[in-house]
Amino acid sequence: MKKCNVIGLDLAKNVIQVCKISADGELIYNKAVSPKKLRELLAKEKASIVALEGCGSCHYWGRFAQQYEHDVRIISPKKVKAFLQGQKTDANDALAIAVASIQVGMIFSQLKSEEQQIIQTVEKTRKFLDKSVTALSNHIRAFMYEYGITSPQGKKGLRETVTLVVSDEDHRLPANLQGMLALLWERYKITLEHLTANEKIRESLVNSIEPCRRLLDLESVGPVGAARLYAALGNGKTFQKGRDASVYIGVTPKQHSSGGNVYMRGINKGGGDKELRAVLFQGAFSVIYKLPMQARTKKQAWLINLVARVGVKRAAIALANKTVRTAWALLVSGEKYKAELV
């Protein structure tokens, strides 16, 4: 039985629904307030359970509530839906969030620190810019191809082709479209410059954050992997053990058990952090393909035997799993990684 009030928040940009339930289980109020009023309310309320549905601003409000010693619980929208009664309204949503937060066995999402969110924002921006560069490149190639102009693969080939097409000596493209192509090419170059600047910011961030520097010592982890691992795991204290962190990322086998019979299947590709998992697999493949003939460390010896027994792809998944567990141990303990020699 809970011994404090529960405050369920249905977050939105301008109006936030607040549902308060007493320690005895009585509904005290369920009303809409402005963000300013919510700040005042959280500051005045005694220590309570503050439940939020996972969304864009949940970490900001969670950190704000935590300043006033509230027990912050972030719940996945999929888990909240099971407790929704009646039609979907802000009031019913806030009530469902409050009820879901006090259920036995409910799994909550971790509250990210501001440092974690900064790294995550930089990574999301990098991905957006990278996709924009690819989209612009494909659009420019298709633009020219409609007039019979093909370009070699790669950035260099595209640059040389566009430079030639927009010049006065080339007449393959209609004259009134050369200006349009020049505009698209300028936008492409600017976006590419922004992507380069973003990568420099990310590299600077990784080098300035001490836990990220320690994660870089892992064999299959580079700047992207270190940034994403820290953004996902934080200080690691949200997870009780390394396997919990691996499950959160999605690099553990799915289990189906019934009647005492345990069946282990492939990893759950639909859950976890897909982008981080892809980065970890790429890092694992690079380590496996560069394995020496004679192992110098215990991990290399383990990998060589594993590749011979189950193949490259399964070995890469196993190494990604081990990397996450090792990263969790490093973040929790604060120690530096040291490869054990044979």
For the chain, what's the residue count?
A: 342
Average pLDDT for residues 245-261, to the nearest whole number?
81
Question: 3-state secondary structure string, the chain?
Answer: CCCCCEEEEECCCCCEEEEEECCCCCEEEEEEECHHHHHHHHHHCCCCEEEEECCCCHHHHHHHHHCCCCEEEEECHHHHHCCCCCCCCHHHHHHHHHHHCCCCCCCCECCCCHHHHHHHHHHHHHHHHHHHHHHHHHHHHHHHHCCCCCCCCCHHHHHHHHHHHCCCCCCCCCHHHHHHHHHHHHHHHHHHHHHHHHHHHHHHHHHHCHHHHHHCCCCCCCHHHHHHHHHHHCCCCCCCCHHHHHHHHCCCEEEEEECCEEEEEEECCCCCCHHHHHHHHHHHHHHHHCCCCCCCEHHHHHHHHHHHHHCHHHHHHHHHHHHHHHHHHHHHHCCCCCCCEC
Average pLDDT for residues 290-314, to the nearest whole number?
90
The predicted structure's pLDDT at residue 270: 60
| Percent of the chain predicted with pLDDT > 90 | 68
- Rounded Cα distance, 171 and 178, in Å: 9
Identify which has the larger pLDDT, 264 or 178. Answer: 178
The predicted structure's pLDDT at residue 271: 67
> What are 307-317's pLDDT values in tens digits?
999 999 999 99
Query: pLDDT tier at 175 (50, 70, 90 boundaries)?
Result: confident
The overall longest dimension of the chain from CA atoms, in Å, is 83
Residues 17/95, Cβ–Cβ less than 8 Å: no
Q: Which residue has the tokens 């982890």?
A: 221
Residues 49/2, Cβ–Cβ less than 8 Å: yes
Query: pLDDT tier at 127 (50, 70, 90 boundaries)?
Result: very high
> What are 128-167's pLDDT values in tens digits?
999 999 999 999 999 999 999 999 999 999 999 999 998 8
Q: Which residue has the tokens 């949940």?
A: 58
Residue 170 has pLDDT above 80, yes or no: yes
One-letter identity of residue 81: K
> What are 21-53's pLDDT values in tens digits?
999 889 999 999 999 999 999 999 999 999 999
Give the Å distances, CA to CA, from 298 to 153, 282, 292: 41, 21, 12
Yes or no: is domain 6-100 CATH 3.40.630.10?
A: no
The predicted structure's pLDDT at residue 2: 64
Check residue 335 and give left, alpha or beta (phi > 0: left; psi -120 to 50: alpha): beta
Residue 72: half-sphere exposure toward Cβ, Cα within 13 Å:
23
pLDDT averaged over every residue in the chain:
90
Residue 330 has pLDDT above 90, yes or no: yes
The predicted structure's pLDDT at residue 309: 93
Distance of CA 98 to the CA centre of its chain: 26
- Rounded Cα distance, 181 and 5, in Å: 62
The predicted structure's pLDDT at residue 1: 44
Residues 107/193, Cβ–Cβ less than 8 Å: no
Range in 57-66, 71-80, 122-131, 258-267 the model is least confident about: 258-267
The predicted structure's pLDDT at residue 231: 92
The predicted structure's pLDDT at residue 338: 87
- Rounded Cα distance, 339 and 217, in Å: 9
Closest CA to 266 of 278, 253, 281: 253
Q: What are the beta bridge partners of residue 341?
A: 297
